């Protein structure tokens, strides 16, 4: 028996999403959604039904939904398109690497954060110039879970620049009303809340037109070239619809689970919670481990049947120090991110806390033994 506690990386697919995908794959009457024959128009109906459901779940208009391969592509699409309005970008140092690396292709104004990883809306807005094409402000941080003051950022910008919000970690955990939010561009990834991997969306504010990143076809109303993956889109819509319908229940349950981790951390020597302890996403907790390297902790937990994450969000192969934690002034190379999801149970958290206590005790005892031998 294993306990998977890395939902912020990717969440296991929900049965409703799997069923929706299989249903589409088993059909023999579906063709290219861009073709004007029966099979094409039947596939188009599936895609547009899914678009309607995604839009309804996110408080958007169907025409504001552009299907992509995920949040990474959605971020690239927003960044590429907005560059036509100005090569200058404004962003905080705690944005996801997909945002940072696109911004680094042009001129950047970096904005710092406080010890919780929260950006100051006034400072963000003050960095906007006449050459600013895009301001980035993630909704909730992918490593420490701290929520950003998006509504205040919208108010401070007051339309002086386009605003892109990375909502990959928020969808399915916090309610979103895109059309009423004042946000211009919002990126979403299906696999973060139990949908299939390889599908997501960029929400584009009504009447906003940007040059497409992917050309070669007029799909998605000429905003993204390439045939739409009909089965994945259907699975995305099914997962999002379920996550939205059960959002209150799931978020409350996930907060109770992560609160247990925070309570354990507050009583454990050498362990501290990072990020805002209250104004945070319900499913993410990040722990700083003062005196033990993360690699042996990860290996010890994995051997005990527990999967968690450490280090920079998209660099686990190298376990690189986290730029998010560095920007917060925290120890950047000794952290554990625990993230729960739609199928996490109390038993999973029991297993984590028991295994983590044991692993830390064993590693500290080993270190003392080595230090004693050296002296």
Q: Over the stretch 63-102, which tens digit does the pLDDT of each residue have?
A: 999 999 999 999 999 999 999 999 999 999 999 999 999 9
pLDDT at 318 over 70: no
Measure the CA dihedral 7/13/16/22, to 10°. 170
Long-range contacts (CB closer than 8 Å, 24 or more residues apart) made by 226-232: 227/32, 227/33, 227/34, 228/33, 228/47, 228/67, 229/198, 229/199, 230/24, 230/30, 230/33, 230/43, 230/46, 230/47, 231/20, 231/21, 231/24, 231/25, 232/21, 232/190, 232/196, 232/198, 232/199
Q: Considering the chain, what percentage of its residues have pLDDT values greater than 70? A: 97
Query: Nearest-CA neighbor of 97 among 248, 359, 241, 312?
Result: 312
pLDDT at 52 over 70: yes
Instruction: Give the per-residue pLDDT at 9.
Output: 97
Query: Nearest-CA neighbor of 344 among 274, 277, 262, 251?
Result: 251
Tokens of 114: 């406080």
Measured distance CA(145)–CA(116) in Å, rounded:
9
User: What's the mean pLDDT in 239-264?
Assistant: 98
Domain ranges (residues) in the chain: 3-10+247-374
User: What's the mean pLDDT in 254-283?
Assistant: 96
Instruction: Give the per-residue pLDDT at 156.
Output: 98
The reply to whether 314 belongs to the active site is yes
Alpha helices in the chain, H assignment, sequence order? 15-25, 38-57, 71-82, 97-103, 121-126, 150-157, 178-181, 219-222, 230-245, 247-266, 294-303, 323-328, 346-374
User: What's the mean pLDDT in 282-288?
Assistant: 97
Instruction: Give the per-residue pLDDT at 373.
Output: 72
Q: Considering the chain, what percentage of its residues have pLDDT values greater than 90? A: 90
Coil, helix or strand at residue 135 = strand
Tokens of 28: 């023999």
Instruction: Assign 320 a pLDDT band (cuts: 50, 70, 90).
Output: low
Which listed residue (93, 197, 314, 363) is catalytic? Answer: 314
pLDDT at 321 over 90: no
Instruction: Assign 46 a pLDDT band (cuts: 50, 70, 90).
Output: very high
Determine what percent of the chain falls in helix, strand and coil, rounding each to the nearest 5: 45, 15, 40
Domain 3-10+247-374 has CATH 3.40.50.2000: no
Q: How does pLDDT run across 177-220, given as a tens digit for each residue?
A: 999 999 999 999 999 999 999 999 999 999 999 999 999 999 99
Q: Is 198 left (phi over 0), alpha (psi -120 to 50) or beta?
A: left
pLDDT at 332 over 90: no
């Amino acid at each position: 028996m294993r306990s998977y506690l890395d939902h912020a990386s990717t969440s296991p697919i929900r049965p409703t999403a799997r069923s929706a995908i299989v249903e589409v794959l088993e059909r023999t009457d579906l063709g290219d959604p861009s073709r004007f024959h029966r099979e094409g128009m039947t596939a188009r109906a599936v895609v547009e039904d899914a678009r309607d459901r995604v839009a309804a779940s996110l408080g958007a208009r169907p025409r504001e939904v552009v299907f992509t391969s995920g949040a990474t592509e959605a971020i690239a699409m927003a960044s590429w398109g907005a560059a036509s309005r100005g090569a200058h970008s404004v962003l905080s140092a705690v944005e996801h690497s997909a945002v940072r690396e696109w911004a680094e292709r042009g001129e950047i104004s970096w904005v710092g954060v406080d010890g919780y990883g929260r950006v100051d809306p006034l400072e963000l807005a003050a960095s906007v110039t006449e050459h600013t094409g895009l301001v980035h402000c993630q909704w909730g941080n992918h490593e420490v879970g701290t929520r950003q003051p998006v509504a205040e950022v919208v108010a401070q910008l007051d339309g002086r620049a386009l605003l892109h919000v990375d909502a990959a970690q928020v969808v399915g955990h916090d309610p979103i009303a895109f059309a009423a939010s004042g946000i211009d561009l919002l990126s979403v990834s299906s696999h973060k809340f139990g949908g299939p991997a390889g599908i997501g969306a960029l929400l584009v504010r009504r009447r906003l037109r940007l040059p497409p990143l992917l050309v070669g076809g007029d799909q998605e109303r000429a905003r993204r070239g390439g045939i739409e993956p009909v089965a994945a889109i259907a699975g995305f819509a099914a997962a999002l619809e379920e996550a939205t319908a059960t959002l209150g229940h799931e978020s409350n349950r996930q907060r109770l689970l992560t609160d247990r981790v925070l309570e354990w951390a507050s009583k454990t020597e050498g362990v501290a919670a990072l990020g805002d302890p209250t104004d945070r996403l319900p499913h993410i907790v990040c722990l700083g481990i003062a005196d033990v390297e993360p690699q042996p902790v990860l290996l010890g937990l994995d051997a005990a049947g527990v999967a968690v994450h450490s280090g920079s969000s998209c660099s686990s192969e190298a376990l690189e120090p986290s730029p998010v934690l560095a920007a917060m002034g925290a120890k950047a190379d000794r952290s554990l991110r625990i993230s729960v999801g739609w199928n996490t149970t109390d038993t999973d958290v029991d297993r984590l806390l028991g295994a983590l206590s044991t692993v830390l005790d064993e590693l500290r005892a080993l270190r003392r033994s080595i230090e004693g031998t050296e002296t």
